[in-house]
Amino acid sequence: MRKNLGVQPALFPMPVVIVAAYGADGNICAMNAAWAQICDMDKIALFIDADHKTTKNIMETKAFTVSVADVPNMETADFFGIATGNKMPDKFEKSGCHAVKSEFVNAPIITEYPVTLECELLEEINTENMHAIVGKIVNVSAEESVVGDGDGVTDKILPEKVNALIFDQYRSGYFAVGEKVGQAWNAGAGLMKK
């Protein structure tokens, strides 16, 4: 039997990503975001408020990075969600994280996280119902330890190696991405014969 729960943001899983950008002064601001989604083969949408310091930085510099948060770095990932750059200008320094400038965009790559999408700002969408930042992915960099050959694919990110965090909006919890349980576009192929 099903139970009606009312209105809830009940979509799961949601990736935990760290969005980072330089300010006009060169300082780094980073934020934890769970409302992010690939929206084309080379585009990502971030559903983040305009008043975040990181959003303001993105609008100034027209570039940003999106890093996949992982279990070993859960503490700093959570800190990036608790602290606000609007009130804590040295937020990045307090995190203890390190960064290098992307070779492809004017944005920082936080070296502690294993996978980073390097993006140019394409557009800001601001309607009555949504605020989003859309970026063009110009490069993806990853630690060699999470890249390999899998299922006949070479030089691809292996999710089981990333140990990525996912956000549970139901209880405000973090979970880890688990094992591979099937092959897309194959697991349901038997139903095509019915």
37-75 confidence digits (pLDDT tens): 999 999 999 999 999 999 999 999 999 999 999 999 999
80-122 confidence digits (pLDDT tens): 999 999 999 999 999 999 999 999 999 999 999 999 999 999 9
DSSP string, 5-60: --S------EE-EEEEEE-TTS-EEEEEES-EEEEETTEEEE---TTSHHHHHHHH
120-165 confidence digits (pLDDT tens): 999 999 999 999 999 999 999 999 999 987 666 678 898 889 999 9
- Check if the beta carbon of residue 15 is closer than 8 Å to that of residue 167: yes
168-185 confidence digits (pLDDT tens): 888 889 999 888 888 888
For each of the domains in the chain, give its residue range(s) and CATH number, in order of start.
Answer: 14-193 (2.30.110.10)
Is the pTM higher than 0.75? The answer reads: yes
